[in-house]
């Protein structure tokens, strides 16, 4: 069984967090089409026999998507036994109507607030059957090594994303981590060339079975040499707004 999957329904965000590991502050606006999402999640449900431990619907900021509640209810339909979590910074909770929140509650969708110490709508929060905070007002710095001099196997086995098995799902493909799934935004913003082939960093769920996928997810790949995962263990910092400096993401 795949224990954890996270996926974006938008890539962009209403916050620009320093060193965002999803590069959401660098991303152009993108709204996942609901129909595409349903097709991809239905296939994931099929190959996993509806067994994924936790599915986190996020971004970017998912409350920017006008159909956010529909994404959640479709996910529940396809994964009746999974823990399903909507991950948000909480700023846009006022966009959800009482009916929206009731649908989320009826479908056992938990709300996880990324805890950046922001002032949030407590009235809205209290309407959720399940909500909790995560992050303790800290940010996660990913420590990219643009010279690609890290030992890829050592980097892989030291990686807390790998150890946590925090897999990322995007466009019908499962990635070992959110970093390489969204690295295009970093390359485009800073004119860098973190080079990879799509099949080296992800696996297609429409052309592979669960055994293939599980083997792929536990295998080091050449692209891991771009991450200094030893340095990264010590680079959690307090929430700050990004200044758009490449050094926020690099060693």
**56-75 confidence digits (pLDDT tens):** 999 999 999 999 999 999 99
pLDDT at 235 over 90: no
Question: How many whole angstroms separate alpha carbon 83 and alpha carbon 6?
Answer: 12
Place 135 in a pLDDT band, splitting at 50, 70 and 90: confident
The residues near 206 (Cβ < 8 Å, ≥ 6 apart) are 43, 172
Q: Residue 118's pLDDT is what? A: 85
Give how far Cα 83 sits from Cα of 34, 108, 227, Å. 20, 8, 30
Q: Residue 139's pLDDT is what? A: 77
pTM equals 0.95
Lowest mean pLDDT among 89-98, 118-127, 162-171: 118-127
Mean pLDDT along residues 24-47: 97
Superfamily per CATH, domain 2-138+160-222: Aldolase class I (3.20.20.70)
């Amino acid at each position: 069984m795949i224990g954890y999957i996270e996926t974006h329904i938008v890539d962009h965000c209403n916050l620009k967090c320093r060193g965002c590991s999803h590069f959401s502050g660098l991303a152009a606006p993108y709204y996942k089409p609901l129909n595409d999402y349903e097709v991809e999640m239905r296939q994931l449900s099929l190959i996993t026999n509806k067994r994924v431990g936790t599915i986190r619907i996020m971004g970017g900021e998912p409350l920017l998507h006008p159909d956010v509640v529909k994404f959640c209810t479709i996910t529940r339909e396809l994964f009746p036994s999974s823990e399903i979590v909507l991950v948000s910074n909480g700023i846009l909770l006022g966009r959800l109507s009482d009916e929206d929140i009731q649908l989320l509650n009826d479908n056992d969708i938990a709300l996880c607030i990324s805890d950046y110490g922001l002032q949030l709508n407590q009235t809205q929060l209290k309407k959720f059957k399940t909500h909790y905070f995560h992050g303790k007002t800290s940010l996660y710095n990913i420590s990219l090594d643009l010279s690609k001099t890290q030992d890829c196997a050592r980097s892989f086995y030291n990686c807390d994303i790998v150890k946590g098995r925090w897999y990322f799902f995007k466009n019908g493909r499962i990635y070992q981590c959110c970093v390489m799934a969204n690295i295009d935004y970093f390359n485009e913003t800073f004119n860098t060339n973190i080079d990879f082939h799509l099949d080296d960093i992800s696996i297609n769920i429409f052309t592979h079975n669960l055994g293939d996928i599980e083997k792929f997810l536990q295998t080091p790949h050449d692209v891991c040499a771009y991450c200094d995962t030893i340095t990264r263990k010590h680079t959690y910092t307090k929430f700050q707004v990004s200044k758009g400096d490449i050094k926020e993401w690099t060693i």
